[in-house]
Amino acid sequence: MDELREKYEELVRKLNEASEAYYGGQEEIMSNYEWDAMFDEAAALEEQTGYILPESPTQNTGVEENSGDREPHEFPALSLAKTKQISELQKWAEDRPIWLSWKLDGLTLVLTYDNGKLAKIVTRGNGSVGTNITYLKNVISGFPLKIKYKGHMVVRGEATISYTDFELINDTIEDDDEKYANPRNLASGTLSLDDPEKVKERRVHFNAFTLVHLDDPLKSWGDRMNLLKEEGFTVVESEAATAQTLPSVIEKWTEKVETGKMDIPVDGLVICFDDTEYAATGNVTGHHATKAGYAFKWQDVSAKSRLSYVEWSCAASTISPVAVFEPVQLEGTTVSRASLCNISEMERLGIGKTCTLEVIKANKIIPKCIAVTEAEGEFEVPKICPVCGAATEIHISAKSNTKTLHCTNPECSAKHVKKFTRFVSKSGMDIDGLSIQTMLKFMNEGFISKFADIYHLSEHADVIMEMEGFGKKSCDNMMRAIEKSRKVHPVNFVYALCIPMFGIDAAKKIMAVIGFDGFLERLKDGTGFEDIEGIGPEKSGSAIEWYENPKNRDSLEALLKEVEIEKVNLTVAAGGKCEGLTFVITGDVHYYKNRDEFKAYVEASGGKVTGSVTSKTNYLVNNDVDSTSSKNRKAKELGVPIISEDEFVEKFGTK
């Protein structure tokens, strides 16, 4: 018995250590697959021995450590009972109407409203006490600051960051100690930041998953969620079900995850009763209420395959290993690659020069290696960078003791991927289909090292079509976008050059006074732009210093051979058709190339474009005139005319 107790205590220690890292936004110690298996083993030992530690994860909710004021929850945010067996869910549901929704993988927040206004936002914390983060109310999307309901209302939901935004953010973080293991880890770390503007950049989104309290009687969970939708909340997707229909509904929802249709991170499903009064009658056992709901977690399916080789890819300053193995069928798809994270993880797993890997799809999405057998020999760490060929070196993090591989060349193009992102952005060359991840792939393949190389990607089209994540259609679309970008507005081109301190506004001011040819002449002769209002010596000096760098000069000259700079007149016309008027432009546009071009026309015609609708706004331009968006609602409240793009062109002219 003592031996079982010792084993159990060690399991609890490891689980709590992993939970602390997970909820604290630190580097992940173990996968969900490993944690769940260890949790089940600990729970089985508790049942076998009757010995239960108070700090056991079976008795406590996870805790995220945010800085800030702590305060108790009005209604405890308890965990849900968990199962991987559909039959257990059916037994629990009996013959009562139930709802199925996503178990989102983020950070739980509790929102309180009084007198129609958001009063506070509190993190879940330990379920009884959380951290007040109301100061972030303007930088998290998915919920309204004002609602029609004037009583006391408490809403619980999940703050998440999409996989797309997670990859985008992580790939631009050069310091490995600052990278995040997964979107949930990123969401947790983001909401502990003190700077609201930094939080805003991370695009955190709130998804309401239950209306905890309402002064008025509203018994149905479904009706409560509809009320939240009407009030302007983003509400978690849900579907009505019964014990009998549950297997088919779960199969359908599982297929959505397996086929890659989910950009929002999920780690299971939630089943709850429609009758909220009945749900509130359950007992509290351990750290969950018996009738509050049930969390369904998928059975993890693993497959074994033989390692073919390790591919090393450079992203920002880090060169990361990816296991390439003989293709296997996993969760309905063919898998042949899985990230190995870093050198320390390879050592922990025991990767050899040859070995057999056991692979899962974490949350049914991300291939992950969880174990290694039959390893022979030692894996090799590359001595040169796959992008630029410079020497590599191993860094050991002082914070986590993690070993990572880095390129020593400060000018390696992979280290400047942020500049390439700016180059292809809508404000720059406006090239769809070239995400950070895509460009990093092309850099590692040797296709891109400077901006002008983008215009020669067609030479590699046959290879690109065969690359993972591509096909003929996506490759053709990307090539069309590249060709379309060859004709570019001078303001967008100057922005795309990534000259320090030169944004859209600086480019507009220079183009309006001296035009693009004048801009080039002054760069070449070193005259600068100090005489142009709004530029000043610091920005002017930055541009001249940029041009004096031979690499930048060569890059500019190479680009000018690939593109055509549009001839435009940016001088603000006195008495222009938009003079004295303020516009807000929202939604997609079709007449103008993009909203930046639309904005440029308004400003060139003497008008002003702002981001939000106020009493000073003269027109809101939205091609979806009947939309119920917040901007449209605000315009109607203030009596601001809402016009389409075609109506704008009719009233105020063309490009």
Note whether 269 and 246 are within 8 A (CB): no
Can you tell me which residue has the tokens 């009757």? 50
Looking at residue 174, the DSSP 8-state letter turns out to be -
Look at the chain and count its residues: 655
Handedness of CA 252, 258, 263, 267 (dihedral sign): positive
Phi/psi of residue 40, nearest 5 degrees: -60, -40
Q: How far is CA 438 from the centre of its chain?
A: 16
Residue 596 to residues 266, 442, 580, Cα–Cα distance (Å): 35, 28, 19
Q: How wide is the angle at C-alpha 72 spanned by C-alphas 203 and 222, nearest 5°?
A: 60
3-state SS track over 519-551: HHHHHHHCCCCCCCCCCHHHHHHHHHHHHHCHH
Give the residue among 385, 475, 383 at the shortest CA–CA distance from 433: 475
Looking at residue 346, the DSSP 8-state letter turns out to be H
Cα separation, 475 vs 496, in Å, equals 23
Buried b (16+ CB within 10 A) or exposed e, 23-56: bbbbbbbbbbbbbbebbeebbebbeeeeebbeeb
- Tell me whether residue 229 is one of the annotated catalytic residues: no
Q: Please spell the DSSP secondary structure of 106-163, one letter per residue.
A: SEEEEEEEETTEEEEEEE-TTSSEEEB-GGGTTT-BSS-SB-S--S-EEEEEEEE--H
Q: Which residues contact 140 (CB under 8 A, 6 or more apart)?
A: 121, 159, 199, 204, 205, 206
Phi/psi of residue 530, nearest 5 degrees: -60, -30
Burial (CB count within 10 angstroms: exposed 0-12, middle 13-18, buried 19+), residue 116: middle
Which among 7, 82, 91, 103 is annotated as catalytic? 103
Pairing of strands 107-114, 98-104: unpaired
**Neighbouring-strand partners of residue 129:** 72
Strand 608-610's sheet: what is its strand order? Answer: 608-610, 582-586, 619-622, 642-643
Greatest Cα pair distance, the chain, in angstroms, is: 91
Half-sphere exposure of 627 (CA within 13 A, CB side): 18
Phi/psi of residue 266, nearest 5 degrees: -130, 150
Q: In angstroms, how far is the first alpha carbon of the chain from the final one?
A: 82
Burial (CB count within 10 angstroms: exposed 0-12, middle 13-18, buried 19+), residue 396: exposed
Can you tell me which residue has the tokens 């000096």? 541
Tokens for 489? 């507005």
Tokens for 146? 């004002």
The kind and range of the H/E element at 215 are: none
Q: Which residues contact 209 (CB under 8 A, 6 or more apart)?
A: 101, 104, 156, 157, 158, 235, 236, 270
Q: Which residues are catalytic?
A: 103
